[in-house]
């Protein structure tokens, strides 16, 4: 577990404190920032870190969680436990034996094309999750509306907020998105 950000020791210094096995786990993670021959600690961090709080520049690297694949219809979610200083993973849907455990790497409240573009740019892959593989009537519009409603909530009147929350919950249900962070 590495943490980077203002006021924290450098990632290089933290790496020095880790065991050989822990350092090897980190160096075995993906680096999507450039050619394979130019792998760097910064590239590994850029590819694999999570932000426990979007209001700060702190990033957390959890080597096990970094191995989870992406889905625009994830069945797991991650959350930072500040008291324990650890990233927690939990199921957000029913998971059957043999199902792959997936998280979201990006904001999934975008159109399919926008999601594909962002995943190609940052991670170098095209998503083939159920939400991207199947074209569902109105899915892009529903996902875009989720983001619009979410932005509106901060400035709306209390009465309008109640309407928005009801609409958001319906959109999440229609898209089968069960991420508690969105609800």
**pLDDT-derived band of residue 61, with 50, 70 and 90 as boundaries?**
very high
Percent of the chain with pLDDT over 70: 97
Residue 68 pLDDT grade (very low, low, confident, very high; cuts 50, 70, 90): very high
- Has residue 2 got a pLDDT over 90? no
Average pLDDT over residues 30-46: 87
Q: 47 near 33, Cβ under 8 Å? A: yes
As a residue count, the chain comes to 183
Alpha-carbon torsion, ordered 5, 57, 28, 181, to 10 deg: 140
Residues 94, 144, 182, 158, CA torsion sign: negative
**What does the pLDDT average to over 169-183?**
91
Distances (CA, A) of 48 to 117, 148, 167: 18, 28, 33
In tens, the pLDDT along 124-145 reads 999 999 999 987 789 999 999 9
């Amino acid at each position: 577990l590495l943490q980077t950000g203002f006021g924290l020791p450098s990632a290089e210094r933290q790496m020095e404190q880790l065991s050989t096995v822990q350092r090897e786990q980190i160096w075995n993670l993906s680096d999507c920032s450039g050619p394979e021959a130019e792998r760097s600690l910064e590239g590994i961090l850029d590819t694999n870190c999570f932000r426990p709080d979007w209001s700060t520049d702190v990033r957390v690297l959890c080597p096990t969680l970094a191995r989870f694949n992406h889905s625009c219809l994830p069945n797991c979610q991650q959350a930072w436990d500040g008291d324990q200083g650890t990233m927690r993973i939990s199921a957000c849907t029913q998971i059957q034996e043999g199902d792959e455990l997936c998280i979201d790497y990006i904001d999934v409240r975008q159109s399919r094309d926008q999601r594909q573009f962002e995943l190609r740019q940052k991670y170098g892959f095209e998503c083939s999750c159920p939400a991207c593989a199947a074209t569902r009537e109105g899915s892009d519009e529903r996902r875009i509306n989720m983001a619009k409603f979410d932005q509106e909530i901060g400035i709306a009147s209390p009465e309008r907020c109640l309407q928005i929350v009801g609409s958001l919950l319906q959109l999440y249900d229609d898209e089968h998105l069960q991420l508690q962070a969105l609800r």
